[in-house]
Amino acid sequence: MIQLELAKQNKTTPQIAQVAKDESLAVELIRKNLIQGKIVIPNNKKRKFVRPCGIGHPLRTKVNANIGTSVGKASIKEELKKLEVAIRAGTDTVMDLSTGGDLKKIRKAMLKESCVAVGTVPLYEAAVDVTRRKKSIKDIREEDFFEVLEKQAEEGVDFFTIHSGVTLETISRLKNQGRILDIVSRGGAILVEWMLTNKRENPFYESFERVLKIAHKFDVTLSLGDGLRPGALADGTDRAQIQELIILGELAKKAREAGVQVMIEGPGHLPLDQIEMNVKLQKSLCDEAPFYVLGPLVTDIAPGYDHITSAIGGAIAASFGADFLCYVTPSEHLGLPSKEDVEIGVISSRIAAHAADIVKKIPHSLEWDANMSRARKQRDWKKQFGLAIEPNRPKKVRMNSNPDTEDVCTMCSKYCSIKIIEKYLK
């Protein structure tokens, strides 16, 4: 039996127990919200790993790191190094988005090495396979799509992004809309090419039951992808995007009815003042399913700095209820991320997630900040580094600044406000 069924029989699965412990919440609450679809715990029944995590309300906001090869950059070693870096930096899950090299070998290595949940976009493998056979996307057989799903589920992948909402209806609305950047989702674009060249409906929509059957068999959590997520601020919250979201809401309902865990993916690029509405709309249209956002990026004009634009959007989204932040690295829009990009990407998203967790009143979240501020008052540098979300960079900054004394820093030196005031405000 799979998690959702066990939960409905009032059983406490090891995953539920662990999430309850990690989050300082009652087992009963986790179970109830899992049953209601407000929480998912991605964990393929074929796979055991150290740190399964819960995603949803009222849990700590989680962070995902996308790694994986591309056509020109297909070193397994390099990607495993990124996996290590992402986990050390504190990511809660990873996605293997490989499209270069031996996909199965890479995935197997990731599944073996990762102590956190691993997700994929199975569709990529179908596209890569057909391309390698010197054929085109059009030539992917419907069966191929479901075969990669079955195969990857069998291998132990914990969650799948499935672009079931890219339907003939949404494509028609997209055309009617007239966007600057029609589709910026790789999976979405591949599906549209397949659908339009074959004049067929999306198989992941039309035969959603087959997706559910595979997911159910292996307890794979579904992450319903937003193939039509806006890739430009000007395209944010348009009719095409919301049409897809309505369909995803309907499919999420079907998934729950079939006992399959499900979450919903979201934007993308959005003006800052559209973020609250997007989160509330998703929660309403998808019956409180966990919301997994890629960004949102609050401006298009900062390539090289999109870990910052997405930290702004991610913090706001999560503060209004988004549950899961997909990191964005400084390489976004420019190239495959390096190890260094992976690290700063995870840290930036964790900062955004934590800033939101304070608003969400997640247990112990504000306490962390208060302890840091107490260490600052004491000018206890060791304690500050110990409490820092990432200790190496602040240690280096302080070391390089050569402070005169152990006590203060080179910013204010003997005019340190904290030191001045403690004598007079006892």
Q: Work out which of 190, 224, 328, 346 binds a second copy, going by CB under 8 A.
A: 190
Write out the two tokens for 313: 């959007």
Q: How far is the CB of 371 from a second copy (least distance, A)?
A: 8
The Cα 138–Cα 190 span in angstroms is: 9
- The answer to whether residues 57 and 84 touch, using CB atoms and an 8 Å cutoff, is no
Q: Does 189 bind a second copy (CB under 8 A)?
A: yes
DSSP assignment, residue 406? S
Question: How far apart are CB 369 and a second copy at their closest, in Å?
Answer: 4
Q: Under the criterion CB under 8 A, does residue 177 sit at the interface with a second copy? A: no
* Residue 51 vs residues 20, 29, 90, 137, 289: alpha-carbon distances, Å: 13, 20, 11, 37, 22
Q: Which of these segments, 8-16, 247-255, 280-288, 312-320, binds a second copy (CB under 8 A)?
A: 312-320
Find the binding residues for a second copy in span 199-218 (CB under 8 A): none
Which of these, 264, 320, 324, lies nearest to 289 by C-alpha position?
264
* Interaction residues for a second copy, span 343-382 (CB under 8 A): 347-348, 351-352, 354-356, 358-359, 366, 368-370, 372-374, 376-377
Helix (H, G, I), strand (E, B) or coil at 135: coil
Using CB under 8 A as the binding rule, whether residue 332 contacts a second copy is answered as: yes
- Identity at 357, one-letter amino acid code: D
User: Which residue, 90 or 285, has its beta carbon nearer to a second copy?
Assistant: 90
Residues 271-290 that bind a second copy (CB under 8 A): 271-273
Interface with a second copy: number of residues (CB under 8 A) = 111
Does 384 engage in binding with a second copy (CB under 8 A)? yes
CB 399 within 8 A of CB 391: no
Interactions with a second copy, residue window 231-260 (CB under 8 A): 231-235
Report d(CA 5, CA 8) in Å as an integer: 5
Q: Is 183 among the residues that bind a second copy (CB under 8 A)?
A: yes
3-class SS at 171?
helix
Q: Record the tokens describing residue 416, joined without a space.
A: 């340190």
Query: Which positions from 132 through 161 interact with a second copy, judged by CB under 8 A?
Result: 137
188 binds a second copy per the rule CB under 8 A = yes
Contact residues for 141 (Cβ-Cβ < 8 A; gap 6+): none
Question: Is-contact 270 298, C-beta < 8 A?
Answer: yes
Burial of 326 (0-12, 13-18, 19+ CB in 10 A): buried
Residue tagged 């270069």 (tokens): 100
**One of 1, 17, 115, 180 touching a second copy (CB under 8 A):** 180
193 binds a second copy (CB under 8 A): yes
Q: How far apart are CA 400 and CA 390, in angstroms?
A: 17
Task: Provide, rounded to whole angstroms, the least separation between the CB of residue 121 and a second copy.
Answer: 11
Alpha helices by DSSP H, listed for 89-167, are: 103-113, 123-132, 142-155
Least Å from the CB of residue 279 to a second copy:
14
Query: Smallest distance from the beta carbon of 215 to a second copy, in angstroms?
Result: 24
Site for a second copy contains 76 (CB under 8 A): no
- Region of 145-153, 157-165, 198-206, 296-304 interacting with a second copy (CB under 8 A): 296-304
Binding test (CB under 8 A) with a second copy, winner from 308, 326, 328, 342:
308
- Per CB under 8 A, does 393 bind a second copy? yes
For a second copy, give the closer residue by CB, 216 or 350: 350
Going from the C-alpha of 4 to that of each of 11, 174, 220, 405, the distances in angstroms are 10, 35, 11, 58
| 186 near a second copy, judged by CB under 8 A | yes
Q: Which of residues 13-72 bind a second copy (CB under 8 A)?
A: 70-72
Q: Is 96 a binder of a second copy (CB under 8 A)?
A: no
Using CA atoms, how far residue 100 sits from 57, 103, 106, 121, in Å, is: 36, 7, 9, 14
Question: Rounded to the nearest whole angstrom, what is the least distance from the CB of residue 404 to a second copy in the complex?
Answer: 5
Q: Interface with a second copy includes 335 (CB under 8 A)?
A: yes
Nearer to a second copy, 246 or 416 (CB): 416
- φ/ψ of 273, rounded to 5, equals -80, 0
Nearer to a second copy, 187 or 203 (CB): 187
* Token pair recorded at residue 156: 């132990």
